[in-house]
Structure 1
């Protein structure tokens, strides 16, 4: 009896299992053959080159902008155009001209070579003298005869303090020269030693002309509270490039100018 029941149950459950079996196999698909993998690897790759970048609206606007900037549409680009070759040529031409007119081997010192200068008194004269018109972009009120060492000292002084002493927006554009080379004794006193002016190693400056057209003189400027401080800085800045610096407080002979010379003293620069 028990055997018959077990057999019946086996038949029933076996039939149910057969009825619920899937129609497709659950086994994993077969791995592709080696030949198929090689073929896939050798297949040509798609074109990976980047697409060309579209030009920006600013560049297109710059290329099409009119010569008259007033015709530009609001918001249009002001991208600068390339510098014309003619402008570069003009710059090079001006530089060649400045180099051609330079002396002492310095393009910033413009003038003419004079050579040997002989004096009428013993001790006067100079070798390899030059006549300077402009130094570091600052003109001299008169072409001045001096040695190259004097011209270089003048350039250092101009660059150090003079050019911007009265403001960077109102620069000094010219120096008023009161005296340069002159074969004479010191302070024109008979029997005195030969002045450094007689050796082309000195220059006297009596005023400074600004870009605005105004001229600040040593005589009046030293008495004005607004300009005296600046003139004092100019006077002090000359101590070093020059060996002797004399101003309005030195003596009555220098009350209206700065005397600058390159003489060297045992005690160092003499400034008064």
Structure 2
């Protein structure tokens, strides 16, 4: 036992003699193996750059319009679009009529009266015996500045009677209500048929260009007075009765809802003459 202990003591003594004066610490990998490549992270993000458009020989590159001009063009386009859909209710009837095409060209004074605006038609042949207008027929678009919803073909005597009633009876009956009438809703003008379209009946005055049917009146404020809906009731009903009564005189025949079932929804005016005066119901 003593012989073995002595060598172990000698080995320990030698190890202590060779020990370093300070403890060893692990070395950083960067000190031993420096980075092989520099960092690829850029200071700012990199985005692809668009290539300039290829310009062919002789062609000019597009020039960008100034912002002010672009804004003005956009506003003009929007204004045009709004005008296209805006209602033309307040437009002059003659201007609107001229836009309907070459068939309605030449609209202006008819029957030697500037308050009657329309187009000369001349003669209108009839499909039935007794129908037609031999000469002097017109297509009427407006009366004293009041537009007709549908241009009506008639004789000049009929147009003059209508103007007399519009200027007197119609305007006075409406007064300032709703701003006055701006459009007359026409149910019928010239029409080659028998009275009330009954088989075997006499030819209607419509078939001679001597009558007009009116169903309603449109007012400046957008309201409407309707024969069918307003006859006999309230303010509008009273106005319609005044209109009906005042037409008896300028026209030879005046029919309304009280006449018969055929006239529940419109006034019938014609210039037929009777020996004992106008016929009004």
- Is TM-score (shorter-chain normalized) higher than 0.5? yes
Q: Which whole-Å CA distance do the structure 1 matches of 2:190 and 2:107 have between them?
A: 24
> Is the aligned partner of 1:266 residue 2:269?
no
Corresponding residue for residue 111 of structure 1 = 118
Corresponding residue for residue 239 of structure 2 = 230
1:224 CA displacement: 2.0
1:101 CA displacement: 0.8
Moved over 4 A (4+): none
Corresponding residue for residue 21 of structure 1 = none
1:128 aligns with one of 130, 136, 156? 136
The aligned runs of 1:8-27 (5 Å cut-off) are none
Corresponding residue for residue 154 of structure 2 = 146
Q: Which whole-Å CA distance do the structure 1 matches of 2:171 and 2:112 have between them?
A: 22
Corresponding residue for residue 176 of structure 2 = 168
Residues 77-131 of structure 1 show CA distances to partners (whole Å, capped at 9, x for unaligned) of xxxxxxxxxxxxxxxxx9xx9x971100000000000001110000000121000
1:227 CA displacement: 1.4
1:230 CA displacement: 1.0
Alpha-carbon contact 2:107-2:119 (below 8 Å) kept: no
Residues 155-179 of structure 1 show CA distances to partners (whole Å, capped at 9, x for unaligned) of 0000002124223361111100001
Corresponding residue for residue 219 of structure 2 = 210
TM-score by length of 1: 0.62
1:155 aligns with one of 163, 173, 178? 163
The aligned runs of 1:30-179 (5 Å cut-off) are 101-126=108-133, 127-168=135-176, 170-179=179-188
C-alpha RMSD of matched pairs (Å): 1.8
Q: Which structure would you say has the larger Rg? A: 2
Alpha-carbon contact 2:161-2:250 (below 8 Å) kept: yes
